[in-house]
Chains A and B, each alone.
Chain A
Amino acid sequence: MSELRWNPTLEQWTITATHRQDRTFLPPADFCPLCPTKPGAGAEYVTDVSAAAYDIAVIENKFPSLRTPAAEPAVQGTDLYPVAPSDGVCEVVLYTQEHNATLTSQPVERLEKLIRVWQDRYADLGARPEVDYVFIFENKGKIIGVTIDHPHGQIYAYPFIPPIPKTEIDAARRHHEKTGRRLWDDIVAEELRDGRRIVARNETWMAAIPFYARYPYEVHLFPLRHVSRITDLNEQERHGMASILKAILTKYDNLWGFSMPYMMVMHQAPTDGGDYDFYRFHVEFYPPHRTAQKLKYLAGSEAGAGAFINDTLPEEKAAELRAIEPVSES
């Protein structure tokens, strides 16, 4: 059973997906469904991925929150509580065949390939008539809720613009109408002018813990040229994005000497046919750690009121990350 249920109090959709209760949960490495099938494996050991020779693979999620055609809704909607089909696509992106790798351990060259795959998926999924928003993300680490260790990201192609991107887009539109300038042009200029919150920079990208960060180590990656979607990146900008991704991921792992859990999300223009030239593509990281041993929980104020309490200053945390050498073995 799966459907969209309208929440009239927050004016946003909730997706029900009851079949996901039974999804695979932390299988041992020998039974990883995202590893290539081993040669000669019996039928019970055949995985989702059969080709041993590939660079990057994308699989439709076996337990999708969104699917076209959508399943029949479990309930009928009313005027107060509209119900809509949960059309869309959920995909899993396999970064590598190596079970014990991470995105951080991938060389810059592979990250460039991954960006090309992300570009392809954005274009492909965004061209579908039922898809209004393509959301590329990664949940990393058991404390984030990852249920399979194999290094992978995900893509949700929604039939609506999700609330957080919509809030950003609406703010950017109002800023543009009020000032005639793009909001992220001003944000990037302000971060560059101030400088205290910058973590890394190259010719085409910058990384900063922005003035308004909610998590202690919330790094955002911004392309220095205005682009609204990942498909607008040229070759030089793909290289710049891969390089700064590698630098930030490595800094995270070197911060406390363990593989840093995080959520990585990409915000970009919707694919509903609208004009979003005022909105800039960017990447946001939300690591849950506020110290090596302590986590930032989304508690009453954050979950119930939507008001984040950041226990740290972005200026201090950016200086901390900036001082860490992005040195890795790969």
Chain B
Amino acid sequence: MTKRVVRREDGRAVIYYDFEDENPARDAETQPKAPQGDAHE
């Protein structure tokens, strides 16, 4: 399991968990970019 922590512009963290051994295709994906975002609960 790997996790990538991305800090949004509003300061909130987003943690993306990947299970690369189970999903090798994910290795080829680009790294996430910090979005502007909107609300959630």
A binding-site residues for B, Cβ under 8 Å: 23-24, 33-34, 37, 43, 46-63, 92, 109, 113, 116-117, 120, 146-148
Contact B17 A48 (CB under 8 A): no
**How far, in whole Å, are A92 and B39 apart by their CA atoms in the complex?**
12
Q: Is the interface of A mostly helix, strand, loop or mixed?
A: loop
**In the complex, which of the residues A43, A116, A147 contacts B41, with contact meaning CB atoms closer than 8 Å?**
A147
Contact A58 B34 (CB under 8 A): no
Interface residues on B, range: 20 to 34
**How far, in whole Å, are A59 and B34 apart by their CA atoms in the complex?**
12
Minimum C-beta distance from A40 to chain B (A): 13
User: What 13 new A-B contacts, CB under 8 Å, besides A48-B8, A55-B19?
Assistant: A23-B40, A33-B37, A46-B35, A47-B38, A49-B14, A56-B17, A59-B12, A59-B13, A62-B37, A62-B38, A113-B1, A113-B17, A148-B40
Contact A63 B26 (CB under 8 A): no
Minimum C-beta distance from A330 to chain B (A): 16
Residues in A with CB closer than 8 Å to B19 are: 55, 113
**In the complex, which of the residues A46, A117, A146, A147 contacts B38, with contact meaning CB atoms closer than 8 Å?**
A46
Residue among B4, B23, B35 with max Cβ neighbours from chain A (10 Å): B35
A48-B37 contact in complex given A57-B14, A60-B12, A113-B17, C-beta closer than 8 Å: yes
